[in-house]
A and B are shown apart, each in its own frame.
Chain A
Amino acid sequence: MKKEPIIHVKNVSKSYPIAGKEFMALKQIDLSLNEGEFAGIVGPSGSGKTTLLNIIGSLDKPTQGDAFVLNKDIKALSHNEAASLRNYHIGFIFQVFNLLPVYTVFENVEFALLLQNNSAKERREAVMRALNWVGLTDHADKRPDKLSGGESQRVAIARAMVKAPKIVLADEPTANLDSENAHEILKTMKKLNQELGTTFLFSTHDEKVMGYLDRIIHLRDGKIEKDEKNKL
């Protein structure tokens, strides 16, 4: 039996008003991702990678076309339904980490679980497990300003993974990291993908990332130029 794709984007376009003119960030994109894929959207700056990721992450809505994530129509979701989808099923990893500055590492990772009303014991176990995945159990009480870039991004991975989401969307996750840290981060994510079966979708133009991807979707000027299995 053929499996339903976990992400299904059909003929999606997205335009923004910029300086009084409509700028087409995405042009009739068609894309499907199955569960457990480790894929990346690759392209130069301004090609529409982040816009596509934001639509899949239900942070934005397409101007035209349909985007289905876990069989939910992104366009039809209310604010609350979209929030619930993100809270339970989608983890985000950002280029600049976006850790909450006044929270400790533990509290940052715990945040998503607080929104799910899990018990304190469940939360503690899940957070420590997630910190263990990224090798940061010793840093649980530190604040983000006491962490290196690599450590901060690992906290962000733990925060994205702690709720065991179906999908993790990582927007240029290695852009602010040195080469060594970037490889560490990517290895961690690959391991989580293989062990937990979580679907990872990256946006990147970093060649280091491309080396780890199973599938590369090339985007240029808002259009998919090429969608291929990674041969690297």
Chain B
Amino acid sequence: MKLELKLAFRNLFGSRLRTLLNVLVLSFSFVIIILLNSIMDGWNQQAQKDSIEWEFGNGHLINEKFDPLDPYTILDGHDKMPEENIGLTPILERQASIYPQGRMMSVVLKGISSEQEILKLPTKILKESKEEFPVIIGKRLAESAKLNKGDRVQVRWRDSKGTYDANTLSITEVFDSNVPNIDNGKIWIDINKLWGMTNLENEASYFVVDDKFKNPELSSWNFKSQFALLKNLKDLINQKKTAQSIVYGLLLAIALLAIFDTQILSIFRRQKEIGTYIALGMTRLRVVRLFTIEGSVYSVLALIVGSIYGVPFFIYMSETGFPIPPADQKMGIALAEVIYPVYGLKLILMTVLTVIISATIVSYLPARKIAKLNPVLALKGKKQ
């Protein structure tokens, strides 16, 4: 094997241009596969971190009648807070309408303690504000409703008995979060204020739990762990990853096709050489191995070449990040304006192994033919 490896390197360095082209194409695949995957991993990590920090906390304790994905459950999906409520930050949701520039817009009023620290929402402003009806909104709602910090807007809601009421709320802060779920159509208000507005004293639709929460069995409340809450996000990213793997699968296929082509051509073009190897005493198996290793060595050389230009590029990307166009940020999932790629050891090792193994396989397949070659005809260079 050592000899074949030595000869393979000798042969590849000997046929300079052919080797260079194959290595460049394959190294490009290496770099792109790692980059695309690292961006997806970066997005995954950033989206999970943002979702935990802005929305999920350590998990949600959700009222059994409340379904966060079904707006029809908002009306009845709430209950009194349990007596033992250590580690629970209550959130009450109520439907409402606002009238920015005379237009009517359906929104959800989300009551949250202005003193909470589990979520990154800037709720302290609600407490500090001198306004009568201070609220905070996210940049997406601000953009869609054309509202700015300091603006006032009419809001209409119904109390627990169904009676309509209205007031003028003040936008005391427009926060910037990558999590659209807490932003689109959501107005955050001090929960004490919302309790007063709706006569739903001490009631909550769900709780954000922190690490002090012991998860007791509470009737009429269902616990969803952080892991369970992140599942949809992970599934979505994995789905995207699968779709993206088609792109780099194609890219890899092109590179492997180049190697496969080179191998096929080599076996036809280098018949005389193969015959000479056999005449000089190389066994057919060793010649097959030599050609297979030659193909695999392409991937090793591609790894080296890819590292030469790929590593500085990866470092540059990890510093500047990958900008996401504004249209993509409206997809409804946590997506930052800039995604910073994450280069995990697993990702790099998997990519290296995938490319080396697939290059070896596509090199071996045509090389098998050598075992069946007639050395006498091969020596004459006759095509077989």
Contact = CB atoms under 8 A, between A and B. Distances in A.
B284 A92 contact: no
Nearest to B12: A102
Given A107-B10, A115-B282, A98 B276 contact: yes
Interface string B355-384: 000000000000000000001100100000
Contact of A83 (B3, B15, B283): B283
A87 B281 contact: yes
Interface string A93-135: 0101011111100010001101101000000000000000000
B279 A92 contact: yes
**Number of chain B interface residues as a range:** 20 to 34
A57 B279 CA distance: 8
Contacts of A99: 276
Interface of A: 54, 57, 59-60, 79-80, 83-88, 92, 94, 96, 98-103, 107, 111-112, 114-115, 117, 159
A103 B281 contact: no
Contacts of A117: 3
Interface string B273-285: 1011011111111
Given A94-B379, A102-B14, A103-B14, 17 more contacts: A59-B278, A79-B283, A80-B283, A83-B283, A84-B281, A86-B278, A86-B281, A87-B281, A94-B276, A96-B272, A98-B276, A99-B276, A112-B280, A114-B3, A114-B7, A115-B3, A159-B280
B10 A86 contact: no
Nearest to A159: B280
A84 B284 CA distance: 12
Contacts of B273: 98, 100-101
A59 B275 CA distance: 9
Contact of B279 (A98, A101, A103): A98
B160 interface: no
Given A94-B379, A102-B11, A102-B14, A59 B283 contact: no
A103 B273 CA distance: 11
Q: Is the interface of B mostly helix, strand, loop or mixed?
A: helix
Give the 10 A-B CB pairs with smallest separation, nearest first: A87-B281, A102-B14, A83-B283, A86-B281, A98-B276, A92-B279, A59-B375, A54-B376, A80-B283, A83-B281
15 contacts: A59-B278, A79-B283, A83-B283, A85-B281, A86-B280, A87-B282, A92-B279, A94-B279, A98-B273, A100-B273, A100-B276, A101-B14, A101-B273, A102-B10, A112-B280
A95 B259 CA distance: 32
A20 to B, nearest CB: 18
A145 B6 CA distance: 22
A86 B280 CA distance: 6
Contacts of B284: 79, 83
Interface centre among A86, A96, A107, A112 (most CB of B within 10 A): A86
A60 B275 CA distance: 12
Contacts of A115: 3, 280-282
A151 to B, nearest CB: 18
A96 B382 CA distance: 14
Contacts of B280: 86-87, 92, 111-112, 115, 159
B275 A98 contact: yes
Interface centre among B3, B6, B282 (most CB of A within 10 A): B282
A229 B275 CA distance: 33
A115 B375 CA distance: 18
Contacts of A86: 278-281
Nearest to A54: B376
A59 B376 CA distance: 6
B44 to A, nearest CB: 46
B366 to A, nearest CB: 19
A103 B10 CA distance: 7
Interface centre among B273, B275, B280 (most CB of A within 10 A): B280
Contacts of B283: 79-80, 83
Interface string B1-36: 001001100110111000000000000000000000
